[in-house]
Structure 1
Amino acid sequence: MLALDIRALRRLGVIAPGECIIDTLHWSIGGLSTASARLRADLSDVERGGVMTIVGQMPDGAINQPVAVEMVPSPFGGHRCYFICPFSTRRCEVLYYARGRFGSREAQRLSYAVQGMDEVSRARRKTAKLRSRLCGSGSHPRARGRNRIDMVSRLRQAEHDAQALYLDRLRAFTDRSGSRRMPGETP
């Protein structure tokens, strides 16, 4: 899913209160470029907020969409930025591209990936996630010291839980089929 995260854009310097910045954003999946867009973020008036215009070539056609940006004063100084969803007019930090437009997850009626998974798939996803964190991937460095020891024990427990769920599911399946023997068991 193509997404615009205002927190990541702020870290990259594309969103800066009091400035007008133009930059290009590229999305890729598995190293292959899927889409690119030119972002023009005009946040020069901190009090009234700003607007970010997205112009680019998406997988299903061209896009030219303005998105309002609200800047809220932070209690410790500075400002916190939010997108205003073009559909629901609610604050959000991430906009997702679906049906030719960017909008919030709720407005686009998108669900989280785990909501469509069964127990075994969620357990396997958890082990894969822990394994990738343990090895270090992308911008996350490899866990070290006590964190690594804790992560190894959590990974072992997650693998054990995933295996137990899988065997329970397999037992239930073999009980329905009339077989009295589990695969791998000796007669």
Structure 2
Amino acid sequence: MAKGGSRLGAGRPAYKVKGEQLQRIDVRVWARKGLLTGNRFFSWSWNRGGEPTGSIGVKVTPQSAVTLEYSLTYDGERRSISERVELIYKPCNFGGARPWFQCPRCARQVAVLYMRSGRFGCRHCQRVAYSSQSEDVMARTWREQRRIEEKIGEDWQRPKGMRQRTYERLMERLADCEQRREEAFCVAAQRLFFSL
């Protein structure tokens, strides 16, 4: 059984900052919205719970780089920062090219850059983890069950238009989730019982 979790005594400690807590930029989103074409300047902002949490200005140099312009306040002093991030275009199998960021710290080819300590970088350089990496078996099975329920609905009835075989496969996965959760609960209960 794998160890992990962020609760007390759950295995490895959750010492990394989670990616869901940081400001991030995704080159795939910008490419889909057509923001990486032509010489242009646009602003990008973040919200959490409907409240604005930050924004940056982005200057695009087509086919080569983006310049991120933003300001931060340290010890009451406001500093303007301009950071250049190279763009790498990799050809796709059936034509066209897909853009990637080149991490300004380590030069890795990445799709997402995170802002931490006032600078952007890839998740390796910024020591960023995903929340799911700290989950235990119970939390993972609950998350998987939520995903399946989004497909079939909470009443667990076959949606109109879904093939019977697909529905049966999803129901098997649901039963598997419940079984894994019960096994994890039994193991945790045994550990607790024998530790007394």
- What TM-score, normalized to structure 1? 0.72
| Higher mean displacement: 125-134 or 28-37 | 125-134
- After the TM superposition, which residues 33-182 of structure 1 pair with which residues of structure 2 at under 5 Å, given as runs? 33-43=52-62, 49-56=63-70, 63-132=81-150, 134=152, 145-146=162-163, 147=166, 150-177=169-196
Identical columns (%):
24
For 1:101, the aligned partner's letter is: R
Aligned-residue offset at 1:94 = 1.2
Looking at structure 2, the residues matched to 106 and 143 of structure 1 have their Cα atoms a distance apart, in angstroms, of 43
Partner of 1:10: 31
Counterpart in 1 of 2:50? 31
Structure 2 counterpart of 1:9, one-letter code: W
Q: Deviations over 1:75-105 (max 9, x none)?
A: 4332221111100012111111112111111
Runs of 4 or more, structure 1, over 4 Å off, are 57-63, 132-135
Structure 1 pair 106/164, CA: closer, same or farther in 2 (3 Å)? same
CA distance in 1, matches of 2:48, 2:94: 37
Q: Distance in 1 between matches of 2:175 and 2:72?
A: 41
- The residue number in structure 1 matching 2:16 is none
| Aligned-residue CA RMSD (Å) | 3.0
In structure 2, stretches of 5+ residues that fail to align are 1-21, 154-158
Q: How many residues align?
A: 165
Distance 1:157 1:91, change over 3 A: same
Structure 1 residue ranges without an equivalent (≥5): 44-48, 136-141, 178-187
Q: 1:93 to 1:143 in 2, by over 3 A?
A: farther
How many angstroms apart in 2 are the aligned matches of 1:14 and 1:57?
22
| Alpha-carbon distance in 2 for matches of 1:113, 1:64 | 30
User: Alpha carbons of 1:54 and 1:125: their partners in 2 closer, same or farther (altered >3 Å)?
Assistant: same
In structure 1, what is the Cα distance between the partners aligned to 2:188 and 2:44? 44
Bigger Cα displacement from structure 2, 123-132 vs 54-63: 54-63
TM-score by length of 2: 0.69
1: CA distance, partners of 2:193 / 2:88: 57
